[in-house]
Amino acid sequence: MSNVVIGWAKRTPIGKVGGTLKSYRPEKMAAALIRQMQEETGIQGEKIQDVMLGNVVGPGGNIARLSALNAGIPVNVPGVTIDRQCGSGLAAIELAFERAKWNEKALFLCGGTESVSQAPWKMEKPSRPAQELPVLFERARFSPDEIGDPEMGEAAENVARTYQVSREIQDEFAYKSQQKAVRAQKEGRFEEEIVPLGQINEDECPRANISMRKLKRMPAVFQKNGTVTAGNACPINDGAALAVVTNQQQANNLGLDTRFSIVDSCTVGVDPNLLGIGPVPAVRALLERNNLHISDIEIMEFNEAFASQVVASIQEMGISWDRVNLGGGAIALGHPYGASGAVLIVRLLKEMEVANATLGIATLGIGGGMGTAMLVEQQK
């Protein structure tokens, strides 16, 4: 079994829905990353074994294959698109990791791409041929009614109530996420990990003008007298992220960075009504089978879909806030669904590099009731 490394990882800027990236189709964003990867690494397209990308609200078809062809990758290189909701981008990297363990010529492009701005509208099938006004298809089902299939925000309220996460601590977490992201952006900490799209070279969502006073004034969105607001939840976004996953020998042959290796990855199921707590059993299982303790993890990147679920997970795991999302998270940077898991890996590698950390984890809660986590080690 080979040591599996991430030889290159970068992302696009993240834009608001209808914002700076609204004109970029998902395959165009991914193709831009592929071309930049080839320019920086010198990897020839024919050496790539597969292209694996997460995508959730795209037009269908096979975005991974389309992205590769848009980037000029040879037609004999296949592609596969993965939908594990918010965990899709990390699932693509996990699939590459599993395949690369036993493949001496392994070389995979993996990650995710998402344009919510260009997501197609869908209609329910008419109940009768003469029906004049079709009904808008609102969303996919994640769980049967008898178990519970809450809206994402309702599930976040369930987590807040079950794990006693107050409105105040959610707002505080959101405020700190914004502060960290704004500071990192001003310091230029994102510049090396971002591949510009045209003239767009920075994330659109970090809010320098946010304050605790403004956050406290925001109304609850999903439940009367609830705690989840637009301020302590993530925005809706466009963006993409890409990683090169290969084995140590291939990376050495190609002159790739070999500092970061994937140690292990784990995905579990949880109650769909409490989907945001998914990172807790996923991380616990990951630590247990690698004989590690939470105190061994120096940096953790959570997907901040909602502050309630991250705070609840932090409390349950017993990890310090100062080890989590050091450059801010999705509340400030944004959440481009199918790309978010790969964005977390890009961010994790950068923060581990800056901090000279040995072990880090990227983790997400997933619609339908799942949690996923990936353990990364930096060789020194």
* Residue from 86, 110, 205, 234 carrying the catalytic annotation: 86
Consecutive H or E run containing 302 = strand 299-302
Q: Would residue 86 show up in a list of annotated catalytic residues for this protein? A: yes
Query: Going by CATH, does the domain composed of 152-190+263-378 fall within 3.40.50.300?
Result: no
Domains 4-118+236-260 and 152-190+263-378 share a fold: yes
| Residue 214 pLDDT grade (very low, low, confident, very high; cuts 50, 70, 90) | very high
Phi, psi of 271 (to 5 degrees): -60, 120
Q: What was the pLDDT predicted at 138? A: 81
Q: What was the pLDDT predicted at 134? A: 74
Q: Would residue 293 show up in a list of annotated catalytic residues for this protein? A: no
* Percentage above 70 pLDDT, the chain: 99
Query: Going by CATH, does the domain composed of 4-118+236-260 fall within 3.90.1150.10?
Result: no
Tens-digit pLDDT profile for residues 29-52: 999 999 999 999 999 999 999 999
* Neighbouring C-beta atoms of residue 62, cutoff 10 Å: 18
Q: What was the pLDDT predicted at 131? A: 64
Q: What was the pLDDT predicted at 130? A: 66
Amino acid at the residue 228:
V
Instruction: Dihedral sign for Cα 317, 321, 325, 330, please.
Output: positive
Q: Whole-model pTM above 0.95?
A: yes
Q: Are 174 and 152 in contact (CB under 8 A)?
A: no
Tens-digit pLDDT profile for residues 72-129: 999 999 999 999 999 999 999 999 999 999 988 899 999 999 999 999 988 877 777 6
Tens-digit pLDDT profile for residues 268-327: 999 999 999 999 999 999 999 999 999 999 999 999 999 999 999 999 999 999 999 999
Sequence spans of domains, the chain: 4-118+236-260, 152-190+263-378
- DSSP structure class, residue 313: H
The two beta strands, 370-378 and 359-366, are: antiparallel
Q: How far is CA 137 from CA 60, 130, 228, in A?
A: 15, 18, 25
